[in-house]
Structure 1
Amino acid sequence: MTTPPAPRIRPRRPAWAGRNYTLLTTAAVVTGLGNAGALIAAAFAVLEAGGDGGDVGLVAAARTLPLVVFLLIGGAVADRLPRHRVMVAANSLNCLSQAVFAVLVLSGEARLWQMAALSALGGTGQAFFSPAAEGMLLSSVKGEQAARAFALFRMGMNGAQIGGAALGGALVAVVGPGWVLAADAAAFAVAGALRSLLDVSAVAQREPGGGMLRDLREGWREVVGRPWLWSIIVQFSVVNAVVGAAEAVFGPLVAEDHLGGARPWGLALAAFGAGTVLGCLLMVRWRPRRMLLAGSLCILPLALPSAALAVPVPVVPLAVVMFVVGVSVEVFGVSWMTALHQEIPEDKLSRVSAYDWFGSIAMVPLATALAGPAEEAFGRSASLWGCSALILALTLAVLTVPDVRRLRRSGTEPVAEGGPAAAPDTAPEPVSPR
């Protein structure tokens, strides 16, 4: 008697990792790999064209300025038009700008104004892409598994950025910055193709709005009507600025003067990257009920790197500090995304995301520019201690906001005032965004 063959067991993804979520995560990893290497390549392209450190900063600023200017408009557009189309259009613009950048560098004809203009185009594309992408991601999952989905998404992004920076730096040294920029253009093309496959068949037609200004006002009301939301946005407008100044300006200076140069500072940054991956793994399993309380408490360690640089401590303790901060940042990041997913209406997600992004980046260029004058006026150590004090003061102030302490995960206890209490989901599988 012949025994029938055992049925083949086909591996299947988790129920909550639906088609849209999988496509979005894959595309984000692809562009994360390309972007991390392209940032390094752009800097070396400027230097190879005869530029100096100031010119590198100019090209970087050319990308940041339109990102700040167009973010709020991008959020309104993403809530008005189908988000996947906005994402694909932005990817196409980024692909085109990086491809032209690559051709100019490879031909040896790149000029500073051309590189700055192309960087500005890239920043414009990012301004429209980011709110649409976050709105699409937040609406691609539902139920109790949303936090796990966000944790895995962030882990993929962080891993791509770490790997992309390492690979990009090596490729710049071997084949030159032009080819790395070309690879980034190809990554945008692949990601755009993946995002064009998103299933939007269940997306309800959005009602025509009363104009761009009305859309922006509605998004603003969503923000100011929730104390937990606007208080944390205000907090991070300063926290991100001082952290950016400490890491971009003071960190390399301290490393050069006291730690032995760029290599120890690179080790500290690598430790931070490793911490972010571990933090995401932690949030795959841990779902704190008071998610914003847990997340905000984990912002307190962000004061440690500035303090460690102010001392300054040797490289091993600094790396340990950066690792701990990497873990804590991801606890906040996943908790924040979960809160937005739970509390913000789907049709306003991109506008709220745009205000969030705007608050996070608007003051970074100013703080970076003021770091040098602050060092001259107060001294490096005092400036770094000031960074730590600002982070602690703002975080403790946010913890006094009742809604930050009380906001609970849906299905446990009532949520904070001002936010729609999402009913517990009986089916955690993802659905297409409405």
Structure 2
Amino acid sequence: MTDGLAARLPLDLLRERNLRRLFCAQAASVLGSSMMPIALSFAVLEHGGGASGVGLVLGAQTAPLIVFLLAGGVLADRWGRRVTMIGSDLARAAIEITVVVILLTVGMPLGGFVAFAAALSVAAAFFHPAFHGFVPEVVSGKRLQEANALGSTLNSIGSLLGPAVAGALVAWTDPAWVIAIDAATFLASALFLAGVRTSSSATKASREDESFFRQLQHGWREFSSRTWLWSLLAYTSLASTFVLGPVMVLGIAFVGGKENGAAQWGTVMAAQGVGSLLGGFAGMRLRFRRPLLASVFCTFGLGAFAGLLAVRAPVYVLVLGSLLSGAGFALLHILWTSALQADVPSDAMSRVSAYDGVATVLSMTVGYWWAAPTADRVGASSLLWFGVVWTLASAAAMVALPQIRRSAPGTEKGGDGGMDGGITPEAREPSTAH
């Protein structure tokens, strides 16, 4: 049984020193970050912030991303992605250590928590575009999808374990110590990244000759010149706004009563995490001749989930819908990221992925914001049914685009961005390299 599982998972990728260290860094960072919302929420409550304060603090983690992701993408391409990620990890660790000291000594007002959450978000905005651009520097070609799938699986595992570990620790000790553990994971991530070696001096030299805004414009040209890229991003972003947002905001009201609704909705959401894990496993093994077309249908699980909520299906059926939704979005992310890395020039990768990040954060924010007021006007069930119709109609529009029906992006070119290679030469460095 174990041998069969090992044969299905691309664990041989972890034999490469650079990839092993990169994924260890990602695993440490994801585990710590997934603990933060619970630790931060309880820290706010313990210091008198109340429920409204928790909402204000958690919201402060989102808004800066919309502004700073683009800057993070430009600077990652300019400074080098590994250096940018290490800097982001060290900055977040320093911020959290400072906050831990304050919490354990004099305490912190609500305004301090808001500033803390915003500062963490600004630092994180530099990490995410750099990471997406860094993976193709370590692995390329046919193994890109496997590497992205393995990364997605690590994200899913961390997202499942982190909240559970945080909840247990908060019940046992002060939330400040959970924040301290998160700081330690960022230091571990920086240490792992420091051991990754790639060769990107040529592209870095050419980037430094351009101004910040010139580089931002170049990133936009790379993004807007690819019909498949901006159309698929618009498709998934609008799905987040019109379908995912209402599902997340209205779902709990459709599950159970006041006594057990929260517990049942928690079970439904846990199934989404399991689905994400299964989607990651699928991404490791499945190969699509037309991955962009396949990614369009990955949203159908979310549409089905919305429809099941609209008819007030029993919880065990909602669990299935949530699982399909999580699996679909995980596979979509893998296919999307692999296509992006295969088709976009390596020196613009972080900037282009930053546009993806801004659209994702903005669409989710709008989705959370508009769902409840609109449901009050038209009815929750009607809004959820609109999401189902939107899923089908928008998918039909996407399928009509020739660029979406074509084969995998980047197959026509070789080199780092092509689909014909394996581990990059830099990733084959012996373990003694420094």
Q: Same fold (TM over 0.5)?
A: yes
Mapped to 2, the partners of 1:186 and 1:423 lie a distance apart of 37
Deviations 1:89-137 (A, max 9, x none): 1111211222233333334612100000010000101111110111112
- Report matched runs for 1:214-229 at 5 Å: 214-229=214-229
Please report how far the alpha carbon of residue 410 of structure 1 lies from its aligned counterpart in structure 2 after TM superposition: 5.7
Deviations 1:245-277 (A, max 9, x none): 234421222235489321111111111111111
On the 8 A contact 2:140/2:416 being kept in 1, the answer is no
Q: Which amino acid aligns with 2:96?
A: Q
Match among 168, 171, 189 for residue 169 of structure 2: 171
On the 8 A contact 2:140/2:419 being kept in 1, the answer is no
On the 8 A contact 1:97/1:119 being kept in 2, the answer is no
- Label 1:254 to 1:13 Cα distance change in 2 as closer, same or farther (>3 A): closer
Deviations 1:312-360 (A, max 9, x none): 1111000011112222222212111110121111001001100011111
On the 8 A contact 1:93/1:121 being kept in 2, the answer is no
SS in 2 for 1:59: helix
Aligned to 1:99: 97
Q: Which amino acid aligns with 2:423?
A: E
Mapped to 1, the partners of 2:422 and 2:125 lie a distance apart of 31
Deviations 1:64-94 (A, max 9, x none): 1111111111111111111111111111121
Contiguous gaps of at least 5 residues in structure 2: 1-9, 428-434
- Label 1:345 to 1:17 Cα distance change in 2 as closer, same or farther (>3 A): farther
- Most deviating of 236-245 and 222-231: 236-245
Aligned to 1:398: 398
Aligned to 1:206: 205
Deviations 1:273-302 (A, max 9, x none): 111111211221111111111111112221
Mapped to 2, the partners of 1:360 and 1:97 lie a distance apart of 26
On the 8 A contact 1:343/1:420 being kept in 2, the answer is no
Aligned to 2:368: 368
Deviations 1:407-431 (A, max 9, x none): 32665xx58xxx9996553x52233
Mapped to 2, the partners of 1:382 and 1:105 lie a distance apart of 46
- Label 1:58 to 1:13 Cα distance change in 2 as closer, same or farther (>3 A): closer
On the 8 A contact 2:343/2:418 being kept in 1, the answer is no
Please report how far the alpha carbon of residue 385 of structure 1 lies from its aligned counterpart in structure 2 after TM superposition: 2.0
Aligned to 2:146: 148
Aligned to 1:7: none
Please report how far the alpha carbon of residue 190 of structure 1 lies from its aligned counterpart in structure 2 after TM superposition: 1.0
- Label 1:363 to 1:423 Cα distance change in 2 as closer, same or farther (>3 A): closer
Match among 57, 62, 69 for residue 59 of structure 1: 57
Q: Which amino acid aligns with 1:346?
A: S
Is it true that 1:241 corresponds to 2:244 in the alignment? no
- Most deviating of 393-402 and 125-134: 393-402
Please report how far the alpha carbon of residue 384 of structure 1 lies from its aligned counterpart in structure 2 after TM superposition: 2.0
- Report matched runs for 1:216-295 at 5 Å: 216-255=216-255, 257=257, 260-295=260-295
How many aligned positions are there? 416
On the 8 A contact 1:303/1:391 being kept in 2, the answer is yes
Over the matched positions of the two proteins, sequence identity in percent amounts to 32
Is it true that 1:122 corresponds to 2:116 in the alignment? no
On the 8 A contact 1:298/1:331 being kept in 2, the answer is yes
On the 8 A contact 1:18/1:431 being kept in 2, the answer is no
Mapped to 2, the partners of 1:320 and 1:33 lie a distance apart of 26
Aligned to 2:385: 385
- Report matched runs for 1:404-423 at 5 Å: 404-408=404-408
Mapped to 1, the partners of 2:106 and 2:387 lie a distance apart of 42
Match among 23, 28, 31 for residue 26 of structure 2: 28
Match among 406, 418, 431 for residue 425 of structure 2: 431
Please report how far the alpha carbon of residue 367 of structure 1 lies from its aligned counterpart in structure 2 after TM superposition: 2.4
Mapped to 2, the partners of 1:393 and 1:91 lie a distance apart of 42
- Label 1:320 to 1:39 Cα distance change in 2 as closer, same or farther (>3 A): same
- Alpha-carbon RMSD across the aligned residues, in angstroms, is 2.4
Is it true that 1:109 corresponds to 2:107 in the alignment? yes
Q: Which amino acid aligns with 2:337?
A: M
- Most deviating of 295-304 and 113-122: 295-304
Aligned to 2:5: none
Is it true that 1:354 corresponds to 2:387 in the alignment? no
Aligned to 1:5: none
- Label 1:74 to 1:65 Cα distance change in 2 as closer, same or farther (>3 A): same
Mapped to 1, the partners of 2:415 and 2:401 lie a distance apart of 18
Aligned to 2:3: none
On the 8 A contact 1:135/1:353 being kept in 2, the answer is yes
On the 8 A contact 1:30/1:191 being kept in 2, the answer is yes
Please report how far the alpha carbon of residue 365 of structure 1 lies from its aligned counterpart in structure 2 after TM superposition: 2.1
Q: Which amino acid aligns with 2:43?
A: A
Deviations 1:212-268 (A, max 9, x none): 111111111111111100011112222223455234421222235489321111111
- Most deviating of 195-204 and 158-167: 195-204
Aligned to 2:298: 298
- Label 1:19 to 1:305 Cα distance change in 2 as closer, same or farther (>3 A): same
On the 8 A contact 1:16/1:428 being kept in 2, the answer is no
Mapped to 2, the partners of 1:52 and 1:257 lie a distance apart of 24
Q: Which amino acid aligns with 2:355?
A: Y
Aligned to 1:68: 66
Mapped to 2, the partners of 1:290 and 1:61 lie a distance apart of 38
User: TM-score of the superposition, structure 2-length normalised?
Assistant: 0.89
Aligned to 2:44: 46
Mapped to 1, the partners of 2:396 and 2:11 lie a distance apart of 41
SS in 2 for 1:350: helix
Aligned to 1:6: none
SS in 2 for 1:139: helix
Q: Which has the higher helix share?
A: 2
